[in-house]
Amino acid sequence: MSEVNQAPLSSFPAGRYAWGVVITAATTVIAWVMYGHLNVTSLAMIYVLGASLAGARLGRGPAVLTSVLGVLAFNFCFVEPRFTFAVAHIEFGLTLFVLLAISLTIGSLAADVRQQTWQAAARERRTRLLYEMTSELVRLQDRDSMATVVARHVGEGIAGRAALLTPDANGRLTPVPSLNDESTSNWCDTGLAQWVMDHASPAGWGTEHLSHSPATYLPLAVPGRLLGVLAVKSHDPVRVREPEQEQLLAAFANQIAQALERTRLAEETQAARVAAETEALRNTLLASISHDLRAPLAVITGASTALADPSLSFDPEARASLARTIASRARDMSELVSNVLDLMRFESGQVPLRRQWETLDDLVGLALGRVEPRLGRRSVSVELPKDLPAIDVDAVLFTQVLTNLLENAAKHTPDGTRIRITARVENRQISILVEDDGPGLPAGDPNRLFAKFQRGRSEGEIPGAGLGLAICRAVVKEHGGSISASNRDGGGTRIAICLPAADQQHD
């Protein structure tokens, strides 16, 4: 509610003076009724009360008018000779003079109290509006939400409309959409706002520049930088020129500029963080891939050079062994590149799930068929309950998860290790366990193994870029599940996958 609407009687000068006349008439009626019951001096106090009421409710001018009219009415109606303005005795004249002085004094004091009360209320209201707006702006980061907050609080503060304008990528000001004002273009002059932005000076109504505009435009500035423009249009334009309103608008503009600066710094910080993370990821990727490609390339180069050297002769078994070595190393390189591309696709959300109801034993069979050549002398046992429900998964991707887990077990365990695949249903979850009795996990947090480029052992011992488990986590997460790693109580490693049961899964 505006200060104008807080006025108890009438906010317009003519109306307040009219109420002063009404108060004088009312006190005269009261005194007329009490005439004969009170002496003349006591009747005069009724007019003093009327002057006090006028000062407290109407202001200094109406209080003076009420005081003068009250003295005249008292003299005319109650001072001998009655119904004339003549004064028969000097003591009556003194009474009238004292009555006038007391009425003027009390009326002025009451008016001062009224003015101070209104000023205190206005200061409290301005402080409240600034506090509420600042409290909301501090929690916001996007400009659309900020514009809505600005339109609501500044609009309330000036009893009108407000809009936030910020520059686009080309430096041209455009209004930020606000939920509180969908018709900004009807009253906000973006050309005038651009002038304010270019000249860093207020313009429009109540300013020294382009004052013909019905709206006022204030630059939003912090030291060394202009961030935008605040446009306001009051339903009572005269009030915009009041010093209190100018101070309020200046305070609003300062707080909004600070909020925009915080948002800009947060965006720059986020961009710098993303750039740093991207650079670190790129460097890690290049270092990891270059390391893991160098070894197979060296083997391929050596083997192919030997095969191509006419001065060297090989028996058929040696030649076949070199060919198998080249093929194996080439396959390792292909899988490395494929893993990198798969992880990039997962993180960018470019892998749509083609979910169907699948049986787990079929998926495990497909995965075992892929990794069988790499298992060596390791044994794999599959123990799945006959009543295990089907799972709603992308068969290709989930088979890749099982394949990666089996390959990981083969890489990190010696020949003769036993690998066990089990599953069970508990707490509306299907738990799939891939366990081995190998050396177990290295010291540290097991969950870090699912991060990119993390390996269970040192780089020199085991080939790979550390992407297999990261891909597993990405696929399982896309299916609404979770994956974790831990050491078994009897030694070895356990990888646990949890998927929602049938009644909780995707339709």
pLDDT at position 282 = 65
CB-CB neighbours of 407 under 10 Å: 18
pLDDT at position 92 = 61
pLDDT for 256 beyond 50: yes
pLDDT at position 292 = 61
Q: Of 259, 238, 6, 258, which is closest to residue 121 (Cα–Cα)?
A: 6
How far apart are alpha carbons 313 and 305 in whole angstroms? 12
Report which DSSP code applies to 156. H
Tokens of 340: 């990198």
pLDDT at position 23 = 84
Q: Check: CB of residue 448 under 8 Å from CB of residue 456.
A: no
Q: Of 454, 383, 390, which is closest to residue 419 (Cα–Cα)?
A: 383
pLDDT at position 433 = 92
Look at 4-8, 125-129, 301-305, 480-484 and tell me which has the smallest mean pLDDT: 4-8
pLDDT at position 250 = 86
How far apart are alpha carbons 483 and 499 in whole angstroms? 9
**pLDDT band, very low/low/confident/very high, at 7 (cuts 50, 70, 90):** very low
194: amino acid identity, one letter: Q
pLDDT at position 202 = 92
pLDDT tens track for 140-157 = 777 888 888 888 888 888
Task: Provide mean pLDDT across the span 190-207.
Answer: 89
Residue count (the chain) = 507
pLDDT for 171 beyond 50: yes
Give strand ranges (E) for 276-428: 355-358, 379-383, 391-394, 418-426
pLDDT at position 181 = 57
Burial grade of 325 (CB within 10 A; 0-12, 13-18, 19 or more): middle
Edge to edge, the sheet with strand 429-436 lists: 379-383, 418-426, 429-436, 493-500, 482-487
Q: What residues contact residue 392 under an 8 Å CB cut-off, 6+ apart?
A: 355, 356, 357, 358, 502, 505, 506
What are the φ/ψ torsions at residue 392 (nearest 5 degrees)? -95, 95
pLDDT at position 4 = 37
Per the prediction, the chain carries an average pLDDT of 79
pLDDT tens track for 244-254 = 778 888 888 88
**pLDDT band, very low/low/confident/very high, at 363 (cuts 50, 70, 90):** very high
pLDDT for 88 beyond 70: no
How far apart are alpha carbons 339 and 386 in whole angstroms? 33
pLDDT tens track for 31-48 = 888 887 888 777 878 888
Look at 8-17, 227-236, 306-315, 398-407 and tell me which has the smallest mean pLDDT: 8-17
Q: What is the percent of the chain with per-residue pLDDT over 90, rounded to a whole number?
A: 8
**pLDDT band, very low/low/confident/very high, at 419 (cuts 50, 70, 90):** very high
Q: Of 86, 93, 108, 84, which is closest to residue 40 (Cα–Cα)?
A: 93
Please give the C-alpha separations between residue 198 and each of 100, 143, 263, in angstroms, as whole numbers: 59, 21, 22
Element (H, E) at 173: strand 173-175
Better-predicted residue by pLDDT, 334 or 88? 334
Q: Check: CB of residue 501 under 8 Å from CB of residue 429.
A: yes
Task: Provide mean pLDDT across the span 295-305.
Answer: 83
End-to-end CA distance of the chain: 52
How far apart are alpha carbons 361 and 264 in whole angstroms? 54
Better-predicted residue by pLDDT, 423 or 283? 423
How far apart are alpha carbons 449 and 467 in whole angstroms? 9
pLDDT at position 498 = 92
Mutual angle of helices 243-308 and 316-347, in 10-degree steps: 170
Q: Check: CB of residue 333 under 8 Å from CB of residue 299.
A: no
Element (H, E) at 496: strand 493-500
Element (H, E) at 91: helix 90-138
pLDDT at position 284 = 60
Report which DSSP code applies to 450. G
Q: Of 91, 66, 87, which is closest to residue 76 (Cα–Cα)?
A: 87
Task: Provide mean pLDDT across the span 212-217.
Answer: 89
Please give the C-alpha separations between residue 137 and each of 143, 173, 255, 268, 461, in angstroms, as whole numbers: 10, 21, 9, 18, 54
Please give the C-alpha separations between residue 280 and each of 285, 341, 470, in angstroms, as whole numbers: 8, 18, 17
Please give the C-alpha separations between residue 135 and each of 112, 122, 128, 333, in angstroms, as whole numbers: 34, 20, 10, 56
Q: What residues contact residue 8 under an 8 Å CB cut-off, 6+ apart?
A: 57
Q: What residues contact residue 291 under an 8 Å CB cut-off, 6+ apart?
A: 459
Better-predicted residue by pLDDT, 122 or 16? 16
Q: What does DSSP say about strands 203-204 and 429-436: parallel, antiparallel, or unpaired?
A: unpaired
Q: Check: CB of residue 400 under 8 Å from CB of residue 346.
A: no
Q: What is the percent of the chain with per-residue pLDDT over 70, rounded to a whole number?
A: 83
Task: Provide mean pLDDT across the span 305-310.
Answer: 84
Residue 202 preceded by cis peptide, ω within 30: no
pLDDT for 53 beyond 90: no
Burial grade of 481 (CB within 10 A; 0-12, 13-18, 19 or more): buried
Task: Provide mean pLDDT across the span 366-395.
Answer: 87
Residue 177 preceded by cis peptide, ω within 30: no
pLDDT at position 504 = 45
| Burial annotation 345-368 (CB, 10 A radius, 16+ → b, else e) | ebeeeebeeebeebebeebbebbb
pTM: predicted TM-score of the whole model, two decimal places: 0.48
